[in-house]
A and B are shown apart, each in its own frame.
Chain A
Amino acid sequence: MTEKSGNMTMTAAVPAGGDVADYIALLKPRVMSLVVFTGFAGLYLAPGSIHPVIAAVAVLCIAVGAGASGAINMWYDRDIDAVMERTAERPVPTGRVEPRAALAFGVALSVWSVMVMGVAVNWAAAALLAFTIAFYVFIYTMWLKRRTPQNIVIGGAAGAFPPMVGWAAVSGDITLSSIVLFAIIFMWTPPHFWALALYRRGDYAKAGVPMMPVVAGEKETKRQIVLYSILLAPLGMAPTFVGMSSWYYGGVAGALGLVFVGLSIAIYRETGDRYARRTFAFSILYLFLLFAALIVDKAFGLAG
């Protein structure tokens, strides 16, 4: 049963459905890659041993859980995604995937990831993974994102949990070292997102999302970016201070932290958005290099 109107054909009998690529896009693969990497780092850095297959299953569950929360986020945020240039082409706002299909996909994958983590790995890691998904969906997406400019400060915790989940997959508990890994990502999230929000503030304003540059203005956001990057620089070195890694790592973390602070100051001084874009790109590299340095440090036994 088809109804033609101009050059647009409306098909009513065949249910709409996205392509495989659309369902992959619902999982936010780019965000997932950093989550998987930090989750793996937590798993690798944890004391104790884990069977390689079980370790791979744990990383798979972290990846699927992260993707699932991304899909639920896209279902809930479809109205604001549609008006933001950066997100307007996502599968749900374009109509390629029905909202309820995105929700069902996200919920099914969430349940799958938590259950498999529990049965195959351990229930402490599964509980942490469930909490992470719930935090991202209910606390960040549904509660904070549209209500406060502190949305990504508190909501950033969701992105900071994966190394703790990886750690718990091996050790079955939460320790000071895993909390340090959490704290690094938690402190990294605000300057990372605010750098993006500085050059995308028009998008956020149009969608009514109270990001810091929209609510508090450009100057205050830049001040906060500098503040958070100054706090992040020594925190990045904390694994050395708690005896988790060597001073080789400490040196790398310190140098990376100084670059981050330098870029933040450059943002504070600039009138355009050149350094905001650079800082956003560097922040991703920063986190990747920091966790890569932790892995290398342990792999070569530099901590002694």
Chain B
Amino acid sequence: MDMTVDTPEEQRAKQKRRNRALLIVLMGMVVLFYVISIVRMGIVE
């Protein structure tokens, strides 16, 4: 079992990477829902 504990600097760096990934995911979801809406409207018409 890996018992290495991160320093506060390492933890902050990880947190930053997680936040960036979350931003990308959220932006991706905005685009995804927009595209789904356009396609679904096209199908209904």
Contact = CB atoms under 8 A, between A and B. Distances in A.
B32 interface: yes
A13 B21 CA distance: 23
Contacts of B2: 89, 94-96
Nearest to A53: B39
A-B complex: 9 closest residue pairs judged by Cβ atoms: A94-B2, A20-B21, A120-B36, A53-B39, A14-B11, A19-B14, A20-B17, A9-B5, A14-B8
6 contacts: A10-B5, A17-B11, A18-B14, A54-B43, A82-B1, A94-B2
A273 B43 CA distance: 55
Contact of A54 (B3, B7, B15, B39): B39
A269 B1 CA distance: 37
Nearest to B13: A19
Given A17-B11, A51-B43, 6 more contacts: A19-B17, A20-B18, A93-B1, A94-B2, A95-B3, A120-B36
Interface of B: 1-8, 11-12, 14-15, 17-18, 21, 32, 35-36, 39-40, 42-43
Contacts of A14: 8, 11-12
B4 to A, nearest CB: 8
Contacts of B42: 51
Interface of A: 2, 8-11, 13-14, 16-20, 23, 51, 53-54, 57, 60, 82, 88-89, 93-96, 116, 119-120
Given A17-B15, A95-B1, A51 B39 contact: yes
A53 B31 CA distance: 12
Contacts of A116: 36
Contacts of B32: 57, 60
A18 B21 CA distance: 12
A17 B36 contact: no
A9 B11 CA distance: 13
Nearest to B7: A9
A250 to B, nearest CB: 36
Contacts of B3: 8, 95
A86 to B, nearest CB: 14
Contacts of B4: 8
Contacts of B7: 9, 11
A94 B5 CA distance: 11
A53 to B, nearest CB: 5
Nearest to B24: A20
B1 A94 contact: yes
B40 to A, nearest CB: 7
A54 B33 CA distance: 11
B28 to A, nearest CB: 10
A16 B11 CA distance: 7
A3 B18 CA distance: 26
